[in-house]
Amino acid sequence: MLTLEKFEEASEIVKQVTQETKLIYSKYFSEQTGNKVYLKPENMQLTGAYKVRGAYYKISTLSAEERAKGLITASAGNHAQGVAYAAQVYGVKAVIVMPTTTPLIKVERTKGYGAEVVLYGNVYDEACAYAYELAEKEGYTFIHPFDDPAVATGQGTIAMEIVKELPLVDYILAPVGGGGLATGVSTLAKLLNPNIRVIGVEPAGANCLQTSIREGKVTTLEQINTIADGTAVKTPGERIFPYLQENLDDIITVEDDELIVAFLDMVENHKMIVENSGLLTVAALKHMDVSGKKIVSILSGGNMDVITMSSVVQLGLIQRDRIFTVSVLLPDRPGELVRVASVVANEQGNIIKLDHNQFVSTNRNAAVELKITLEAFGTEHKKRIVDALMKNGYAPRLIRANL
């Protein structure tokens, strides 16, 4: 069902609702990896993610009667907005079932497109099961977020744009949740040029496709645990699984800690907000044992609420040793705090938080604890500050920063 003719048709249809997302050459990631790295910024779509492609194309293939029944889907957020927006364009009702853990920004934006939102379950799979129940009960037309060849065809239009703009692309990296994006992109890429290698990237804590391909059949994970909420899926698509088996060249898994650092890199070097699932392909660049290749990382979405954003930035700064905390013991007498601060200042450290505990010992003259949280330029600068404290007799002890 995923034919070149259908991909060509979808490419024309999705232009009605998508913005042009030209490839961005990344000097920073190219230098880091020894490859020529390009970013496909689908986070810049009106709905904040690529999902509008598959949703709109699928709805365009429905009959007027099917649309008139009203549409229903389940989604962790991005497909929800795609369906809600597409339904608004067609002037039909949309009901979206979202996990209770969905970030608030995704819920509010989905409602903003006129959809009715139902919060149910802790993960996508639970929300999806409930959406099927509602579809049967109310007679709605179900739009699956990934396990539908028409939806996957719409998502695959990304590959058409990549190859047109960069005909000699060597690798395309695609995030994987249920597998719709990877199905469309890998299938079309192979149709256009069998030499293009397409790599799926999953969170290590939700590697349902990697597990399924290893087992040779669609497999459901017992549990999932990842900050990449958009790809937190227990079971890959049954109908699209054969395409993934045939066309994906490899799967890379990424730890949550790598996504945190990737977010910081993206903000500082490209001034772009990309959600954790969209950063999978950026974090995966360091896992690829190739050099001198043209690589495109698909940034699948940018819908991240500010609370999550704040937390990720702080954790990223801590991981990069740009914020750290040391504990020192000092006598409880006037001038000691100034003396410690002077040592830090002489090394150009910036104190952002102090915690002075007089009750760590019954003998306050011998041991009062001072926890100092500082800003530094990185690991080497952090080491210089710690060494300076050591030379001045403070015996600093590194502890986990807590902002």
Task: Point out the residues that are catalytic.
Answer: 51, 300
Amino acid residing at 74: A
| Distance in angstroms (rounded) separating the CA atoms of residues 65 and 90 | 12
CB 293 within 8 A of CB 34: no
What does the alpha-carbon distance between residue 82 and residue 330 come to, in Å, rounded to a whole number?
Answer: 59
**Strands (DSSP E) along 166-233, which ranges?**
171-175, 197-203
Residue 6: CA count within 13 A, CB half-sphere = 20
SS3 59: helix
Per DSSP bridges, beta strands 368-375 and 350-357 are antiparallel
Q: Which residue do the tokens 């054969």 mark?
A: 242
The phi, psi pair for 293, rounded to 5°, reads -100, 155
Closest-CA residue to 227 (of 203, 251, 200) = 203
Distance CA(29)–CA(269), nearest Å, equals 9
Distances (CA, A) of 43 to 226, 252, 272, 286, 358: 20, 21, 9, 21, 50
Q: Give me the sheet containing 24-25, strands edge to edge.
A: 24-25, 36-41, 294-299, 171-175, 197-203, 250-254
Helix (H) or strand (E) holding 357: strand 350-357
CA separation for the pair 298, 316 (Å, rounded): 21
Give helix 149-165 / helix 4-14 axis angle, nearest 10°.
Answer: 80
